[in-house]
Amino acid sequence: MTQLSESDKIRQLAEDYAYSPFMMEQIMINFPDDYMGVIRAFNKPDVDTIRVNTLKSNPQEVKTLLEAKGFHLRPTKWVDYAFHVDSSDAQYRLGATHEYLKGKYYIQSLASMIPVHFLFPQPGDNILDMCAAPGSKTTQIAQIMEQKGTLVAVDAKPSRLRALTSNVKRCGIKNCIIFPFDSTQLNSNNLASFVPNKILLDAPCSGSGIIRGDPNLKKVKNDKDIKRLSQIQKRLLKTGLDLLPSGGYLMYSTCSFHYQENEQVVSETISQRKDIDIIEPFEDIGMPGHEHIGDMEFGYDLIKSRRLYPNLHDTDAFFLCLMKKK
């Protein structure tokens, strides 16, 4: 039997699983240990997940109320105020219930909750969310802060700001200042006397990790957008690290599996700095980031970053890297 060449193998897999050859090759590069497991996992249906807004309710109350409407809820791993939801027998859509409209829960993937979980907000913190809209992580930060301390949420696009403002209001958050601004241009003068001791940078990205929710992402033809986005990501990360005071923490995350948006962005941004350490997360969630891909070296410390894998964790593919300023 004739063995397929690597390029023929990529083309064949791309055809079999409805990917572009470019995206199939990217999966094989970024998941070298089990790319077939990842391909199969991306073909599984997306699972609805909610985060209970503990400012307005508690997990048991929300579970009771939604199950009375026909939803089936089961706890998530890692986050004790979240549930996976089966809506097949429900009387309403998950985003159209009275409880949702009252802000008692937020529809958010489990992977999306982990960046804030690792940043570990505390009541009394000063936290900057650099790319805040539409507000999933902003509202998660706020509920953990228990309305104590200051949260500044920044986003530049008017259409996304409307969604951010709506979600902050719906969730009953009172300690959040929404700042319409381009975060690549942020500096200490823009923020006046506000000095963040923690920063969340959930960077704009290609979204390649959320193929379950958007199968159109299988068909990306080339890396043009990835290259453009990686330049924005590096500018945002440099800005965030410059704003961070000594002893402060910054969480960099994306819903992309491309190393060009993840390990490479972190490595190239901090390689010339002596004031930044990558920090091992306080909880054993996810797998270590790549210290190298092929002959590209990102540095040994990148194994302290984390990746969520669809085949291992039954989540979207996510990248997370917690950094501390010395």
**Alpha helix stretches (DSSP H) within the chain:** 6-17, 21-30, 35-42, 59-67, 98-101, 110-119, 136-145, 158-170, 224-243, 263-270, 310-313
3-class secondary structure, 176: strand
Q: Before 204, cis peptide (omega within 30)?
A: no
- Asked whether the beta carbons of 321 and 305 are under 8 A apart, the reply is yes
- Which is nearest to 243 in space by CA: 197, 179, 278? 197
Instruction: Reply yes or no on whether 255 is catalytic.
Output: yes
Integer-rounded Cα radius of gyration of the chain: 20
The Cα–Cα gap between 19 and 216 comes to 9
The amino acid sitting at 28 is: M
Sheet containing 72-75: give its strands across.
72-75, 82-86, 48-52, 105-107
Q: Which of 171, 176, 205, 255 is catalytic?
A: 255
What amino acid positions are annotated as catalytic residues?
255
